[in-house]
Structure 1
């Protein structure tokens, strides 16, 4: 509503003209709808009770008093419409005239007091009927909705829920002619439709197809990739001689169990070392399992593998277990040093004149980190065996201790004593006894 009049009836004239009213009402009624099967056009007739309540914005009267006006215009309506359903999904639109017959036309006017006179008593509310209203009005409507089928579409009885919305423009809705009321209405709701339709015939069941299976493997020829050779269903009717789950027609090794990723062949062993390529870290060079398919390593590249090489970080011939050959010159220097080791008589204390040659041994060991030294002590046969054994051990240990004191690692030097058990000369002569009282030093690389 956009405007309400000043004079509402013969007994009451509002001191203010009201504008821009709004309201919510209730519409309830029934409808009849008909649309032939396979037609997009149909007819719809609605009839019911239409309540249109309005409340207008507060206005200020000449006395500077706030005033409110509410109206209630109710009708019985009859609304024939032409219906159009252009799609097959339940959507439809409709339009047609609207005939309304007035059943109620009341109003209520309420006026407050001037804020400048707060102690003033407000006038009593005025209620009554709006006079000079038209009994019958003809206007128009246009709307749309959507039919939602409930239940089976094959059933003859139809139950439909149909949400809809319609628009009623202002022309033809003026309740009386003494002034202009611009009434525009939006109606929204849900309609429940019950009716009958053409029952859809149930088609006869299709004929049972004739299944052909030439090879009798239980897979019909249409789905059988090998229709003339029996095979399992899992392989679409094709045989699998090696039982690896890959049909013979797709298997590059049909008689050897294999894997799909190798097209039915076993995991390859390129170097034929008995270790398949997936586990072989050296697939093109024959090796052994404990080295994951690689050959036994040869760290120093001397042709002697590490399992047989006693010097894996230093090159040497196989005849010397892969260790470097000690030169004759070094062997000679060690021998001379051993011949120039002197002790106090019947003791293991080194004499100072032994140190120059022992220092030469220290130099040799420092220059050749892979060298190891064995020190052996010996005596003549003078004295008891136990004494001679102990003395030989102590003298060898004294030499070892001196070399260690000069910076040679303990792990590189070992010592032992043999007493009088290993003579190199005749103990019955003075010269022979002197030769038998000796220290021997032997170099090795392992």
Structure 2
């Protein structure tokens, strides 16, 4: 009897995966109903958690009203029975609430020394570009505007920022306020003061990505737009105070087997494998969304040419999108992305790219659908946190959410569902 049940369970589990991956919603619902009828078996429920209400993993409905600042520590799972992950509303509740006026297209870093989030720029509810600096104390969960002395960069949007651990500062590059810029500034996180490092060698860019290459001790930019044209070039800004090229730019562009030019994509640095992972984006030249995944492998020594490799993830990968966020989860060795905008509208799905297996895992759901939000990874608490965004409502989002991934996930089961080969077969 038990053997027959297991065979029956295995058969319908396989059927569910097949329909899930082909996107046949009617058959997904039918298979889901059968599996529900045969009990709350743990693995079955994990599979059901991948099926967002029998309608795929993407929320394309009209977004709900944005979360208020008084809904702190509210769990938000989005689909009944999900046990892979959940989101907690961490929006500050102190009254009166002091929130950054900018909610869209900000720049965000995690400051590990003071255990805080630091925010620069972005657009307020009136679509005005700001140049304020705010800090969120993660222990107290309170925002504070920083009093900045001296000159400061102009307000902008679509810029990039990274944390520079070598000199304890925030590095700002690019963005736009009408036209793409090449502004490059350093914000001293101790004083706090800005210093203008812009020169004619800095690339003009907006809607690009930036990562900190810890091995090469540099900021690395990829893609973006130079006013109208999408780009595929790679630039490095030396952050090593002991280097003879300290605070100088270097062009690392590779012309062989490179990805197409793109803007509004996501990227993260995989320090264990010395590579940059890039996903999705928008091709402004052809007006098309992009859904491919690429890895750029940095060379040794770092000032020599690296190489690109496209990662084939045809069986399981996020839908096409732009304006998402992506962070590196060092505890799980994952690259996690959330939200954005795609062919069917605003998105709130969550995907993890397992860097050991080079495959995508769907860990949906997420908070309200949005784009142009920002995210950081907090290594102390091993959590992704997102702030703000836009969904064409009356105002921007100014909320703060924390992603909690459940421990002891059955990864082998999820790997098989994503199309991974068994370990033995993969090593042959």
In the superposition, the TM-score normalised over structure 1's length comes to 0.15
Higher strand share: 2
Between structures 1 and 2, the one with greater helix share: 1
Point out the structure with max Rg over C-alpha: 1
Work out which structure has the larger RCO, using CA pairs closer than 8 Å and 6 or more positions apart in sequence: 2
